[in-house]
Amino acid sequence: MAGIRTEVPFPTFPQGFPAEVIERFSEICGMRPLGNVAASGTEIIERLGPEHMLSGRPILYTSADSVFQVAAHEEVVPLDVLYEWCERARTMLLPPYEVNRVIARPFVGQPGTFVRTPNRRDYALEPPVNLLDRLASDGIGVYGVGKICDIFTGRGVSSSVRVVDNEDAMERTYDLLRSVESGFIFVNLGDFDTKYGHRRDVRGYAEALERLDLHLPTFEAMLRPGDTAIFTADHGCDPTAPGSDHTREYAPYLEIGERCGDGGILVGFENVGARVTATLASRNGERCYPK
């Protein structure tokens, strides 16, 4: 989607991280982590949260993705400590254990009512040169909403704002549409993934879609002549599928703006980045998809 082609998959750890990694992370934290399994984030917090609150030991888990996730209760492990643990884990996770992202997953509440907070932080590998770098080198502003800045390690991002949920993300997007004359606004609506998709919450997912639909008239009215808006996804997250991992259905591609014809079925996420590049490179040029 951002012009990066990953030829070698990032390592995953469906059986948990090896002893060498656990020993080094234990040295960082001063204690051994709980868990070290592939699990749903909400499930493992419910299961190990009480023990974590008594012991102070962080909860370590992964998924089908290349991630090293560290969960801790904000009243047990201060945020600055959790962030430091994750920053240090990022530097110690070297090949062959070089996961794509280390993720701080703070939560609050009591056993039975734990909830994750918006204070998540993602510590990604430094990406290769990508769409954001190229836009920045051409003097085009890139404005991140949500975890975009974390994913691209801040590279090429002119400004960034963290958000609480989809509603907050849309309000911050409106702010940018009012204040930014031109550029690329890159928005992550994470609720579909983290709150409903992975949790297989069909009703919650449907209600989140309905709430987003209510924003569309306001959003579209704020677009100016020559603007293009794209709604898409970087993977599937079917809330009706078994398990809690990403799924493999076709991702949607919806576009608002000046274009001709129907894009049909597009093969490859690179079509999104190519569309963004073409639109920004020549706002008055041809707007059909390349054949």
**CATH of range 131-281; options 3.40.720.10, 3.40.50.300, 3.90.1150.10, 3.90.550.10:** 3.40.720.10
Tell me phi and psi for residue 165, to 5 degrees: -160, -175
Q: Per-residue pLDDT averaged across 143-158, rounded?
A: 95
Q: Which letter does DSSP use for residue 240 in this model?
A: T
The reported pLDDT for the residue numbered 268 is 85
13-36, pLDDT tens digit by residue? 999 999 999 999 999 999 999 999
Span 39-90, pLDDT tens digits: 999 999 999 999 999 999 999 999 989 999 999 999 999 999 999 999 999 9
Domain boundary assignment for the chain: 19-124, 131-281
Right CATH for 19-124 from 3.30.310.10, 3.30.300.30, 3.90.1640.10, 3.30.70.1250: 3.30.70.1250
Q: What is the pLDDT of residues 171-215, one digit of tens each?
A: 999 999 999 999 999 999 999 988 898 889 999 999 999 999 999
The reply to whether 131-281 shares the fold of 19-124 is no
> pTM value?
0.83
Residue 61 carries which DSSP code? E
Question: CA 70, CA 121: separation in Å to the nearest integer?
Answer: 10
Strands (E) located in 48-182: 59-62, 67-73, 101-108, 115-116, 121-124, 142-145, 159-161
pLDDT tens-digit series, residues 164-173: 999 999 999 9
Please state, in angstroms and rounded to a whole number, the distance separating the CA atoms of residues 86 and 272: 31
The alpha carbon of 27 is separated from its chain's Cα centroid by a whole number of angstroms, namely 28
Contact 147, 190 (CB under 8 A): yes
DSSP H helical segments within 128-267, as ranges?
Answer: 131-137, 148-151, 166-179, 191, 202-222
> Would you say residue 2 has pLDDT above 50?
yes
